Structure 1
Amino acid sequence: MKISITKYFQKIHLPLILIIGSLYISLISNYLGPPNMVLTAPVLFVGFAMSIYLIHKTKFFSQHFNLTEQIFFLFTLIYFSNLFIDTILLPQKKILTSYATSGMLLLYITCFGFITSLSVKNKNNFDEKTILRIFFFLGTLGMLIALPAMKNVVRGVSQYDTGRADVGEGLNAITMGRFSISIFIIAFYVFLKEKKVSYRILSVFSMLLCLLVAALTGSRGPFVTLALVILFFFLVQKNTKNVLRFMVVSLLLFVLLKGTILNFLESRGASIFIRMEQAIYEQNFSGRTQKYLDALHSFQENPIFGHYFVLDKGENAGGHPHNLLLEVLITTGLLGIIPFLYILLSNLKKSVWVISKDAPWAWIHLLSIQYILASMFSFSLTKSPGVWILIYFVASYNKNILKQADSKNE
């Protein structure tokens, strides 16, 4: 039997470049010992090569591009121009040396995100059900492997850095928290959509596992993000049956497993509840407020074209502002933030339509919303290829996808 390499790539491509690839790279690095980057480089290359192949096979450049896509390309040009100038042509102060000297690496990772994003334009060429199951099974297995490997590591000097577990270099507390919530959202979608009891039981197990992993990281952002995504989903779908089913199962599990879960978290030294109390009663946000103020001051130095792609003054110099909008603002100024805001608002409108219609790839739209919300608390465009991929996935979505999917099912 002749096997189509294109169809094979289309089945494994999206999981590889979004979550599963980087998750398993870090797990292998943790258990077997090779440095994370030694494993990351070849997998990035494979994902990049697969993307180029799919772009070529789908005749990407001969296709129609909607307005949001066109603005996405404009923003990409503005962002890459600024990043190239900041990291290659005009590396700044000594405190930023580590960023300037790794400028080529940052450019490569960002370029990887952009190029791979283009490969997901032709969604009807992908087998949605197979890809969802690959995400679900490999994601759940990844969480299961990661759980015993998580260890409390103090990576900062603040008392608020204690009680936060990660899985080594590639899966710090923030990244691990984001991954666990992504897998939770996928399991949540499987629970609602799959009719087989076995899938629903496994999805409940997966959701509990993801919540345990997220709690061990001690990160508050993932839980805030998850609550907002679930609320958004139910408000948009207006499906009372799904809301009741999920709430009943959640309440039963909470009553039955509350003691066991709390004892487990306590035995592992998890600080999630303490850190939530600090945020509510002490207004402690791990220095985020100062980072935001530093970003606004940086923006004021060159509000039109952007000042620098990282903070360059104060105690946070050399770091990112931990907010996607502020990062775009200091990197590209008003010239970049205006088209970027248009893209986000246009994508939000599309996601509302897709999820309300229960259209194909609704779960990817939920992941996109999760990543955008999470980016308001942490991570950056230069280090998160998944953000580029998800933004363009939604931007290139059109209603013809629903019509073509319906015609396939007839």
Structure 2
Amino acid sequence: MSNLIKHLKNKELLVALYFFLFILGVSINGFNFYNELRTLEVFLLIGLGFYSLIQKKSYFSKYEFCFLIFTLLGFLFWSNYSYIFYELILFYLLYKAFLNLNYNEFLSKLVIWLSFSIFLMLPIAITEFMLSGVYQNWYPMPWNIRVYNSYFLVLSIFAIWFYLKQEKFNNIYLIFLFLAFLSILLDGGRSTALAYSVFIACVCMFNRAVRFKLLFTYAATWLTYFSILFFSSHSTSSVRSIVRESTSGRYELWVSAFQCWSQNPIFGCGFYQLDQYSGVISAHPHNLFIQVLTETGLIGFGFLILVIWNILKRIKWNLKENYFVISAFIAVSIDLSFSGIHIYPVTQVALLWLFVFLLKNPEFQRAASFHPSTYEASRVSQVFGYIAYILIALAFIYLFFYTSALSESLPSTPPRFWEYGYQLF
């Protein structure tokens, strides 16, 4: 009981509560659910920042100062400055939240167990598909299906780790892997399926003890998927084939992105302008690295490389001892390169928690620690931190009250920071 109370006092519980709202499909207004979870994400990240400042555990580095100055001066060279300003500030808040959070195994397991409830309608959807050939959206909320695909990928990494630990009732995690991968295959999520497959292959390669059961679960999922397609009463069904030949416009998007970037390689071309170059209307290039390079130029891309290098130098690159962490980062990199896992609010928080798990979990070996120093932050650092967070909070308050960011009239299945942007009143 005392351990449960201890978990409930952790600031990390706020992250679990955020996932809980997503899992249940809670929404004040069903037509505006996307912006609701985006708003909650902002409140969560700002709240975590202020908590760390109050605890005197948050540091304000010179690199953060340079990044914020770069962001503030972006109005001089970026198109649609207000959009990209809020996106960059959001990624800054995610970075700070990573530094301030600690890994909690109990909460990670709790999120997986609760996520089983997402699959309650899957058997009904499969039955209807086999009878009618129509595969309905069975998820709790009408999100873009790629949101759930990427969410399942992240949670599957957690599930495999808990299965590897060989604890009591660990076979339940194999059931989660089966359901998660089956839903990905039925949705035709190729990038997520590729990332999932590579991760399973890497784990099986270096862990012989669990190889048979993991491969059996993986093969059983594929067999179930093809059986569902075979026994469907309609040959032309609504299920998107996982082996379809099209590139879903990825190649065209990337070519257009580089055309856009070539116009201003140093500072980038601002908030997504690709529709001006090829008629391709898409909210992002489905590749984090190309997106950052295109929108913020070499300077913004340099900050991304700095963050990546800061992560890579702390990983212990011994495959036999640290294969799980390396395999997980490979899988995430694949999804970051072909999908929008970094775009949506829920998957952003899922990635945040995954990075905390991989880089702050004491069970993993690493070359250097990501845990902050036990010394209190300096007075100057605290003052700058408070100023930064107060200004950021005021900026988002302005966004909430003086734009249509929370308007009920915005369209569904949004791809970017707010639903297809927002307008000033």
Query: TM-score of the superposition, structure 2-length normalised?
Result: 0.66
5 Å-filtered alignment, 1:144-223, equals 144=120, 165=137, 167=139, 171-196=143-168, 198-200=169-171, 202-223=172-193
SS in 2 for 1:10: coil
Shift in CA distance, 85/22, structure 1 to aligned 2, threshold 3 Å: farther
Aligned partner (choices 91, 96, 99) of residue 118 of structure 1:
96
Separation (CA, whole Å) in 1 of partners of 2:355 and 2:70? 15
Shift in CA distance, 387/353, structure 1 to aligned 2, threshold 3 Å: farther
* Structure 2 residue runs without a partner (length 5+): 129-133, 361-365, 373-425
Separation (CA, whole Å) in 2 of partners of 1:191 and 1:260? 27
The code of the aligned residue for 1:374 comes to D
Deviations 1:355-404 (A, max 9, x none): 85469xx67x7665544321211227564534873697489756565999
Question: 1:332: which partner in 2?
Answer: 296
Separation (CA, whole Å) in 2 of partners of 1:266 and 1:111? 50
Q: CA RMSD in A?
A: 4.5
Deviations 1:260-304 (A, max 9, x none): 5445777794534x351x33xxxx201111111101111111112
Question: 2:397: which partner in 1?
Answer: none
Separation (CA, whole Å) in 2 of partners of 1:266 and 1:83? 56
Question: 2:333: which partner in 1?
Answer: 372
The code of the aligned residue for 2:215 comes to M
The answer to whether the 8 Å contact 2:286/2:337 transfers is yes
The answer to whether the 8 Å contact 1:218/1:270 transfers is no
Question: 2:262: which partner in 1?
Answer: 300
5 Å-filtered alignment, 1:75-114, equals 76-77=67-68, 80-81=71-72, 90-91=79-80, 103=82, 107-108=85-86, 110-114=88-92
Separation (CA, whole Å) in 1 of partners of 2:305 and 2:46? 30
Determine if the alignment matches structure 1 residue 289 to structure 2 residue 257.
Answer: no
The code of the aligned residue for 1:56 comes to L
Separation (CA, whole Å) in 2 of partners of 1:148 and 1:308? 44
Question: 2:106: which partner in 1?
Answer: 130
The answer to whether the 8 Å contact 2:190/2:242 transfers is yes
Question: 1:347: which partner in 2?
Answer: 311
Question: 2:9: which partner in 1?
Answer: 8
Shift in CA distance, 323/387, structure 1 to aligned 2, threshold 3 Å: farther
Q: Which has the larger displacement, 349-358 or 293-302?
A: 349-358
Shift in CA distance, 214/111, structure 1 to aligned 2, threshold 3 Å: same
The answer to whether the 8 Å contact 1:299/1:330 transfers is yes
The answer to whether the 8 Å contact 2:204/2:214 transfers is no
Query: TM-score of the superposition, structure 1-length normalised?
Result: 0.68
Question: 2:400: which partner in 1?
Answer: none
Separation (CA, whole Å) in 2 of partners of 1:177 and 1:79? 34
The answer to whether the 8 Å contact 1:150/1:166 transfers is no
* Structure 1 residue runs without a partner (length 5+): 92-99, 153-161, 405-410
Identity over aligned residues, as a percent? 17
Separation (CA, whole Å) in 2 of partners of 1:213 and 1:163? 11
The code of the aligned residue for 2:115 comes to G
Question: 1:226: which partner in 2?
Answer: 196
Deviation at 1:119, TM superposition (A): 2.8
Deviations 1:11-44 (A, max 9, x none): 4233355xx256336x2349x8453146425533
Shift in CA distance, 150/245, structure 1 to aligned 2, threshold 3 Å: closer
| Higher relative contact order structure (alpha carbons within 8 Å, sequence separation ≥ 6) | 2
Deviations 1:300-334 (A, max 9, x none): 11112212231242212563222111111111222
Determine if the alignment matches structure 1 residue 389 to structure 2 residue 388.
Answer: no
Count the aligned residue pairs. Answer: 356
Separation (CA, whole Å) in 1 of partners of 2:223 and 2:242? 25
The code of the aligned residue for 1:199 comes to N
Separation (CA, whole Å) in 2 of partners of 1:293 and 1:166? 35
The code of the aligned residue for 1:305 comes to F
The code of the aligned residue for 1:204 comes to L
Determine if the alignment matches structure 1 residue 247 to structure 2 residue 215.
Answer: yes
Shift in CA distance, 303/222, structure 1 to aligned 2, threshold 3 Å: same
The code of the aligned residue for 1:297 comes to Q
SS in 2 for 1:240: coil
